[in-house]
Copies of this chain bind each other. A is one copy, B any other.
Amino acid sequence: MTLKSAARDPVADTIQRDLIAKKGFDMVSHVRSGQYLKISLQAEDKDSAEQIIVRMCNILRIYNPITQNLNILKVTEIDQ
């Protein structure tokens, strides 16, 4: 979950400001911060796992659609 740009992102701004102050990191052009969740669940397959997660995030408002974007970074299978 990352903050939408209209909502501003002071965490990222601070990191960037500190980086500039430290010198030598001027190659960094942009930072965005967010929350990260790693969720293990049982599902038929990757697709259905992803569907469940998206549904869950929407129903439970795991992310706040007013201020945040939801991104599913990776779905991997683990054997049991």
Contacts and interface: CB of A to CB of B under 8 A. Distances in A.
Contacts of A75: none
Contact of A27 (B25, B52, B74): B52
Contacts of A28: 39-41, 52, 56
A33 interface: yes
List the number of copies, as a whole number: 2
Interface residues of A, number: 34
A34 B27 contact: no
**Residue from A12, A20, A39, A41 having most chain B Cβ neighbours under 10 A:** A39
Interface of A: 1-2, 12, 15, 18-20, 22-23, 25, 27-43, 52, 56, 59-60, 62, 73-74
